[in-house]
Structure 1
Amino acid sequence: MGSDNIKTSLPNEEEAPSQSSNTPTEDIEKIANDAYLSLKEKCLQYLDFSLETTLFKAFRFAHNLHAGQRRKSGEPYIIHPLAVAEILAEFKMDETSLIAAILHDVVEDTHVSVEEVSKEFGEPVAALVEGLTKLAKVQFRSSQEKMAENFRKMIVAMSRDIRVIIVKLADRTHNMRTLRALNLEKRQRIAEETLEIYAPLAGRLGMYKIKAELEDLCLRELKPSVYYSLIARVAQKKTERDKIIEQAREHLDSRLKEANINAKVYGRAKHFYSIYRKMSDKQIEFEDIYDLFALRVIVNTPNECYETLGIIHNIYRPVPGRFKDFIAMPKANLYQSLHTTIVAAKGELLEVQIRTAQMHHIAENGIAAHWAYKEKRKDPNNTQLNPADFEKFKWLKQIVRHQKELSDPDEFLEAVKVDLFDEEVYVFSPKGDVFELRKGSTCLDFAFAIHTDLGLKTTGAKINGRIATLRTRLHSGDVIELLVGNKVRATKDWLNFTTTTKARNKIRAWLRSEERTNSKQIGQNLLEEELSKSSSSFEKLQKIGVFQEIHRYFSVGGYEDFILQIGYGKIDAKSAVQKLLSVLQIPKVVETATSAEPQKTMQQEFQEIRTVQEALKQRQGKNRAGGEDAVRVQGMTGIVVRMARCCEPLPGQPIVGFVSRSRGVTVHAASCQWALSNDPARRVDCSWNIISSTVHNVRVRITAHDKPGILAAITKMVSSSQINIAGMECFTNPQKRAVILLKLELTDIHQLKDIHQKIEAVDGVIYVERTMG
């Protein structure tokens, strides 16, 4: 973040260090060394002493690279990464996370590369650093797009290693603590973003200590008068409330000892932002808030939690409707606790939380605590949550899915903010199945939560046996019965009252699909009509391969894009036909109604098309799927490269290479089971050559109902997608199903996924699969 290395922030999220320095070198060294010693002391309280060597190496590495850089506050820049690592040490994070925290800005703000970090500190550290490094030298259309794309990059990294986001939250926390050195406009912009994205993210991860601190710091920047007023007013009430808390604590402590329950009972104060939210949401004054302070009870076992609850309700009168059991039904972020509100001795309301020590640790530290427990596994290099853990974080899986599906930055950020909303309602189907939805969800959101097709065809609902509209909001405990029609009834109006990301995305997707389908049909009709007027035909141009090379004549991505542009009115059909006939020099032929040509068989039609395709293929001179052109092997040149037959990777897939004794480098998909189990010593880093024009042969097996026209329908679909069929085989299996084996020439994994979906949609196709080897 020096003067020549300004950060591409989210937006302008952190301080950019300056290069000027008036502090003597010996003073800078003392400040840096003191910060390092503080970090080391915290780390060695829970980590092995062997860490010290690597920790010091990372400190010196980063300190040298950041030499001369300063924060806006004037302190040496190295203080920031050391402070981030110290925050992580408070959460007892692992060695890899701590080293990555110290190095998290070196790639972005200095000349060092990810490869150099990997060489010095290993691939796991480098991967974390890369995940935390923002997109540099990229021109964005807006700060919103910049924020979305950088957050998208972090989400991708987080899906591989959850520690990325834990380090990022520590980074953001320290930046918020030291925000005062920036100007007011930047401070407020950063605070707004933190309140919208990072504080909710901390909450979703169960890191409530971080969440509370970030929210309070944001309140200080965005509403300073409210913040300082709350500090003063809470302080005024503290003495009075402390007496109430102490009386309740002593009374409860003695009763628990009588019941042989060894418990820790203490009071806690609400953080300022939660008080402000309560005043704002309920439109009440500060004096009307009675639960500024709460009582927390820590016991040994879940059974003791319920025993303690019974004792509390025997001593004090509980407030109806204020009991919540998060032990039986944990929150999505793993939070577990019993909540109840009681009337204390003098009529004051007092909230009580009851939990075990382990529940408390997870409640405070969230996924960081969960990670610490996971670090005791046999495989410390396994950086991903296992499927059972990942299932607990459904919202995280949803965000990962959004970054893949939503290309529009505004839609992506909207989806992220919705999924970070941490208040849920729990509703039931008539069969008793429980569904977790965000607070404010409607009957229509519930329908889409069950299935997309159900949502699109829903006409109404019954809530607890009573008729309700699609717009009706749901509450915890509601039993929902859907009323479903036979036709899709989605309209743009549905977007006005649905709240869940899934519902909104599916509605948008259907509306766009409908618009696209209609426009394609209009474009096709207009094109065929104009070709007919010019005494030509669509079939003739298709047979000679004109539409496969349509991008040569128009600025379009392919034939589908071409007719879409006509359908949308961006390309005039008449002008397009004239241009095509002119370029191809096809004379107008007057069709005569003489005796028709003999009907050609499908085999003859196919052979003619293959002949034209072969000629086009020879003219284009495409590369075949060889290694050297398609893949670059890091640190090696002139080496033989081949694709592994067990997984046959395609561009767009993560890849890894393995050196063979006599075969050069064999490239596998990174997820290939063979590659995962192979000797790591033979592994080399590979990447796809983005300028390569290599075409890859991909084998696809299609199983379909054996009926007339099925082969023609499939080959037509493939042809219309501008994909060449390099080979084909057909037969009938013992179950009397048609089996069609196609060898397709594809450029990348995205093209494979696209044609897979299109073939699967052909009427009569049962399933489609890629075959290997």
Structure 2
Amino acid sequence: MYLFEGLKTKVSKYLPQDQVEYIQAAYVLARDAHDGQSRSSGDPYITHPVAVAGILADMDLDYETLMAALLHDVIEDTHYSKEDLSLAFGETVAELVEGVSKLDKLKFGSKQEAQAENFRKMLMAMVQDIRVILIKLADRTHNMRTLGSLRPDKRRRIALETLEIYSPLAHRLGIHDIKNELEDLGFQAMYPMRHRALRSAVNQARGNRKAIIEKTQNELVQRLKSSGISGTVLGREKHLYSIYRKMKNKELSFTEVMDIYAFRVVVENVDNCYRVLGAMHGMYKPIENRFKDYIAIPRTNGYQSLHTSLIGPHGIPVEVQIRTAEMDHMADKGVAAHWLYKKSADKGTTAQLRANQWIQSLTELQLRSSTSAEFIESVKSDLFPEEIYVFTPKGTIVELPMGATAVDFAYAVHSDVGNTCVGARVERRNYSLSKPLENGQSIEIITSPRAKPNANWLNFVVSARARSNIRHFLKRQQSEDAISMGNRLLRHALGTIKLDEISPADINRVVEETKCETFEDLLTNIGMGNELSAIVARRLVGENPSLSEKKSHVAIRGTEGLLVHFSRCCHPIPGDEIVAILSPGRGIVIHQTGCTNIRKLSREEPQRVLPMEWDDVPQGEFKAALRLELFNHQGTLAALTSTIVSCDSSIINLQTEERENSIYVIDIELTTKNRVHLAKIMRKIRALPELQKVSRHSQYKQK
């Protein structure tokens, strides 16, 4: 029991005796279950869960959390099951242990897939009970402390995982002491040489700075006394990983980072925080645009403090954080501060309330993500938010990550607003949907019931909510398009045989043969190009003579959603003779009939090439490519672009190449409605006096 004594001393300070006895019973079971097991270092395995429980005891967490911490590897590594733990210690403890347990017994296609699924399970367990992540963070902290016994490659892998997932999670939940320790340990394991060099430089600089720090600190203390404010002034050390990241990201030298002197002032109440701010600004000159009020508007993780930057003695920059003692405790412990576990989400600390709001949003992300990797990607984009605060037209504050756009704002208001967004007005002026928003702006979203999300939005949105909603809509749209396209292709392949005439037994047989769950899944596969309609038709009706009859062309409008693509090699437009190639995963790709890229495929895999024709009224704009030869006199290019625009066409791409005698070859990619429209554009271009030759360029290539 000697291993338990230190933990018992800690928990006895804040837990009643009966709960301490429950924890001791959990320790005994864990010790016996792990008997004979050792860690990589050679220590008995039980030392790990005891250390994890000790980290949580330092946060004054409840007895159920500490019991689950002692038992967190029992289900995974011993013969005990969740039911055994439930009988011994209750359902809550068993659920916590299962939430923390890993997925080693499941099979995955890759290590990345296994890791992503592991994180997904952990985060979704956190939605049910936030204590799961507290145990997991303590588990990771002790593993990082004892990383030295592992192989270098394994150390680096675990360190990278810690820096990418666990440290940001601790930050998102406001647990900064854990976050800082994980970052420094991860930095040490990833870059041991850089860590040693930086630590040595910091130790040396600390000695050189001692006199200035003491002088500035004494001046701050005297200012508080003269203002009649009771408080404590502390020098604030930047931790190593923060210094390293600032040097790397902002391309600063070590001297530039260390030239900033940081202090923390802790006072009794919020009123005194603002009184201290006034006293500091009266003492030293504040630096413009370097003041943040996180008391009035707390950060996403519940952090509260006043931040200001000043020009201190001898012109050195001084950063000051001003907060109450409670805020100071919250800044270190975050969601774990003043822990008293409650099932009601309307009680608790600011960090606990913010954390509950965030983890509930994970449920929506989970529902809208098709794979674990996509879910983790969405979560990771939400883990590093430097926030901005903007307003709705009614004055409601909306919190968004730095770099957020009007589309992110629209989805933050409601998913329906995002899905029907067509424009935005910021401060009553039109505003580009892709332009980042700034702090304090008032945003109005313009919607249309016929609008739908654009796949290009994924190139600039930054919030996980917007990204997951857009992807969800596009996947649903693609699925609907695929079913519709698959239906058309299969009916075409069946020729004169109607789909209604095929017996349900034959349809079910083919569904099973193609390993689909439903007939709709089979149609989706056909529409996506994963199954060939001609082969499926033969499976449905055998070698029926009707299949070999000459079939009509499949008609397309050009706007069949996400499953009709137009090849860049020959740029087909309405009026051209066309064929389609079935491309697995993409649907159909339209080519001109004479395109050189499809001749070989037509000979080797004719079943993948379908005859196509344009609908009577093709919709939308299409890309075409022209090649021009002209004399490059002054103003020629301007005249050319003006001519094209006057024909109701837009230039997508333009490339030039000089030939001899001042003749230039220009390749232009532009928009057109059909062959008639393109012919009109070419006639107008031929009227230019500098032009030598213009032709349609079927093999347009980007240089």
TM range (shorter): 0.7 to 0.9
Q: Is the 8 A contact 1:325 1:337 kept in 2?
A: yes
Partner of 2:162: 194
- Cα gap change, 1:393/1:325 in structure 2, threshold over 3 Å: closer, same or farther? farther
The residue type equivalent to 2:250 in the other structure is: K
In 1, the alpha carbon distance for the partners of 2:346 and 2:102 equals 24
- Cα gap change, 1:319/1:94 in structure 2, threshold over 3 Å: closer, same or farther? same
The residue type equivalent to 1:61 in the other structure is: L
Please say which of residues 474-483 and 57-66 is displaced more in the overlay: 474-483
Deviation of residue 289 (structure 1)?
A: 1.8
Q: Is the 8 A contact 2:420 2:447 kept in 1?
A: yes
Please say which of residues 327-336 and 513-522 is displaced more in the overlay: 513-522
Q: Is the 8 A contact 1:87 1:170 kept in 2?
A: yes
Within the candidate set 211, 214, 230, 1:246 is matched to 214
Q: Is the 8 A contact 1:316 1:343 kept in 2?
A: yes
Partner of 2:590: none
In 2, the alpha carbon distance for the partners of 1:312 and 1:515 equals 59
Partner of 1:268: 236
Deviation of residue 444 (structure 1)?
A: 2.8
The residue type equivalent to 2:529 in the other structure is: G
Q: Is the 8 A contact 1:291 1:351 kept in 2?
A: no
Q: Is the 8 A contact 1:318 1:340 kept in 2?
A: yes
1:272-671 matches, cutoff 5 A: 272-290=240-258, 293-370=261-338, 372=339, 374-375=340-341, 382=343, 390=353, 393-464=356-427, 467-482=430-445, 484=447, 487-488=450-451, 490-529=453-492, 533-534=496-497, 536-538=498-500, 551-552=511-512, 554-581=514-541
Three-state SS of the structure 2 residue aligned to 1:333 is: coil
1:28-39 matches, cutoff 5 A: 33-39=1-7
In 2, the alpha carbon distance for the partners of 1:220 and 1:466 equals 50
1:711-750 matches, cutoff 5 A: none
Q: Is the 8 A contact 2:412 2:465 kept in 1?
A: yes
In 1, the alpha carbon distance for the partners of 2:224 and 2:123 equals 46
Three-state SS of the structure 1 residue aligned to 2:61 is: coil
The residue type equivalent to 1:408 in the other structure is: T
Please say which of residues 336-345 and 423-432 is displaced more in the overlay: 423-432
Deviation of residue 76 (structure 1)?
A: 1.3
Q: Is the 8 A contact 1:395 1:420 kept in 2?
A: no
- Cα gap change, 1:568/1:325 in structure 2, threshold over 3 Å: closer, same or farther? same
- Cα gap change, 1:430/1:53 in structure 2, threshold over 3 Å: closer, same or farther? closer
In 2, the alpha carbon distance for the partners of 1:524 and 1:169 equals 51
The residue type equivalent to 1:520 in the other structure is: I
- Cα gap change, 1:139/1:92 in structure 2, threshold over 3 Å: closer, same or farther? same
Partner of 1:71: 39
Deviation of residue 553 (structure 1)?
A: 5.9
- Cα gap change, 1:383/1:188 in structure 2, threshold over 3 Å: closer, same or farther? farther
Partner of 2:586: none
> Does residue 207 of structure 1 match 2:175?
yes
> Does residue 57 of structure 1 match 2:17?
no
In 1, the alpha carbon distance for the partners of 2:448 and 2:208 equals 61
Deviation of residue 62 (structure 1)?
A: 1.3
Deviation of residue 392 (structure 1)?
A: 5.7
> Does residue 43 of structure 1 match 2:3?
no
Within the candidate set 184, 192, 195, 1:216 is matched to 184
In the alignment, structure 1 segments of 5+ residues that lack a partner are: 1-32, 589-773
The residue type equivalent to 2:438 in the other structure is: H
**Cα root mean square deviation, aligned:** 2.8
Deviation of residue 160 (structure 1)?
A: 1.2
Please say which of residues 301-310 and 233-242 is displaced more in the overlay: 233-242
In 2, the alpha carbon distance for the partners of 1:145 and 1:194 equals 17
Q: Deviations over 1:438-464 (max 9, x none)?
A: 112223322332344443454554444
- Cα gap change, 1:484/1:56 in structure 2, threshold over 3 Å: closer, same or farther? closer
Q: Deviations over 1:299-355 (max 9, x none)?
A: 111111111111111122211111110110011211111111122222221211111
Deviation of residue 176 (structure 1)?
A: 0.5
Q: Is the 8 A contact 1:549 1:558 kept in 2?
A: no
The residue type equivalent to 2:31 in the other structure is: H
Q: Is the 8 A contact 2:390 2:439 kept in 1?
A: yes
In 2, the alpha carbon distance for the partners of 1:181 and 1:256 equals 49
Deviation of residue 581 (structure 1)?
A: 4.6
In 1, the alpha carbon distance for the partners of 2:179 and 2:326 equals 19
Q: Is the 8 A contact 2:261 2:319 kept in 1?
A: yes
In 1, the alpha carbon distance for the partners of 2:525 and 2:62 equals 54
Q: Deviations over 1:255-283 (max 9, x none)?
A: 33344422122112011111111111211
In 2, the alpha carbon distance for the partners of 1:162 and 1:386 equals 14
Q: Is the 8 A contact 2:124 2:362 kept in 1?
A: no
In 1, the alpha carbon distance for the partners of 2:407 and 2:390 equals 13
Q: Deviations over 1:143-170 (max 9, x none)?
A: 1111111111112221111100001100
Q: TM-score, normalised by structure 2?
A: 0.72
Partner of 1:101: 69
- Cα gap change, 1:173/1:447 in structure 2, threshold over 3 Å: closer, same or farther? same
Q: Is the 8 A contact 2:502 2:540 kept in 1?
A: no
Percent identical: 42
In 2, the alpha carbon distance for the partners of 1:488 and 1:144 equals 36
Deviation of residue 516 (structure 1)?
A: 2.2
Three-state SS of the structure 2 residue aligned to 1:436 is: strand
Partner of 2:648: none
Three-state SS of the structure 2 residue aligned to 1:346 is: helix
Q: Is the 8 A contact 1:207 1:367 kept in 2?
A: yes
Q: Is the 8 A contact 1:398 1:419 kept in 2?
A: no
In 1, the alpha carbon distance for the partners of 2:19 and 2:424 equals 60
Three-state SS of the structure 2 residue aligned to 1:432 is: coil
Q: Deviations over 1:173-194 (max 9, x none)?
A: 0000110110110000001011
In 2, the alpha carbon distance for the partners of 1:409 and 1:537 equals 38
Q: Is the 8 A contact 2:302 2:334 kept in 1?
A: yes
Please say which of residues 404-413 and 326-335 is displaced more in the overlay: 404-413
Q: Deviations over 1:666-724 (max 9, x none)?
A: xxxxxxxxxxxxxxxxxxxxxxxxxxxxxxxxxxxxxxxxxxxxxxxxxxxxxxxxxxx
Q: Is the 8 A contact 1:71 1:77 kept in 2?
A: yes
Three-state SS of the structure 2 residue aligned to 1:289 is: helix
Three-state SS of the structure 1 residue aligned to 2:517 is: coil
Partner of 1:185: 153
Three-state SS of the structure 2 residue aligned to 1:146 is: helix
Q: Is the 8 A contact 2:124 2:363 kept in 1?
A: yes
Q: TM-score, normalised by structure 1?
A: 0.66
In 1, the alpha carbon distance for the partners of 2:122 and 2:278 equals 46
Deviation of residue 51 (structure 1)?
A: 3.1
Q: Is the 8 A contact 1:270 1:292 kept in 2?
A: no
In 1, the alpha carbon distance for the partners of 2:96 and 2:260 equals 40
Deviation of residue 501 (structure 1)?
A: 1.6
Deviation of residue 53 (structure 1)?
A: 2.3
Q: Is the 8 A contact 2:163 2:182 kept in 1?
A: yes
Deviation of residue 412 (structure 1)?
A: 1.3
- Cα gap change, 1:452/1:161 in structure 2, threshold over 3 Å: closer, same or farther? closer
In 2, the alpha carbon distance for the partners of 1:161 and 1:36 equals 26
- Cα gap change, 1:182/1:303 in structure 2, threshold over 3 Å: closer, same or farther? same
In 1, the alpha carbon distance for the partners of 2:139 and 2:89 equals 20
> Does residue 225 of structure 1 match 2:193?
yes
Q: Is the 8 A contact 1:424 1:437 kept in 2?
A: yes
Three-state SS of the structure 1 residue aligned to 2:236 is: strand
